[in-house]
Amino acid sequence: MTVEAVYDTAGGRSSWPSRRFIAPPPWPRAVPPRCSASKSSRKRCRTTSSISRASSSSAGTPPAEANKTTIVFALPSTPGSLFKALSVFALRDINLTKLESRPIRGTPWEYLFYVDIDARRDDLATRAALTQLGEFAKWVRVLGTYKAGSEPSRARLTRK
């Protein structure tokens, strides 16, 4: 993995090769539309608060220290579909650390859901949850498994 410091997310994104995915999912290697990258570099984007990270990953087994997985899925616009999607993780005691919804361009009231989970993609419980999610989601993609970042230490603010 290579780490490169940039001034802001837009500056970091502008250094990547430009590519537009016009075809509907599944995209090649499930590259998210907002983080478009070349197929050969296999870049992935993950956003945590205001810090954007891109890392290289391979299609093989995740590293031993990897403990967090990012997935994206689309659901049908039916009552209770998001509840069903989230319950597959709750029933297996898998912690969700982030849930984001993004509208799908050109299809009103349709959304992509980006989810970070505190588990490896090759864990038995995670595999079972993703299999069950795939039974009623339109599609599911694992964007990657990686080592979770540590929280930066924050100095205590005191009033004088």
pLDDT, tens digit, 9 for 90 and up, residues 88-117: 999 999 999 999 999 999 988 899 999 999
Please count the structural domains in the chain. 1
pLDDT of residue 146: 92
For residue 52, the enclosing domain spans: 9-146
What is the CB-side half-sphere exposure of residue 90 using CA atoms within 13 A?
Answer: 6
Amino acid letter, residue 90? A
Is 156 among the domain residues?
no
CATH of the domain at 33: 3.30.70.260
Is 151 among the domain residues?
no
Is 23 among the domain residues?
yes
Is 80 among the domain residues?
yes
- Can you spell out the DSSP letters for 89-154? HHTTTPPEEEEEEEEPTTSTT-EEEEEEESS-TTSHHHHHHHHHHHHHSSEEEEEEEEPPPPPPP-
Of 59, 65, 35, nearest to 146 by C-alpha is 65
Is 25 among the domain residues?
yes
Contact between 2 and 18 under an 8 Å Cβ cutoff? The reply is no
Is 157 among the domain residues?
no
pTM listed for this prediction: 0.59
Higher-pLDDT residue of 42, 62? 62
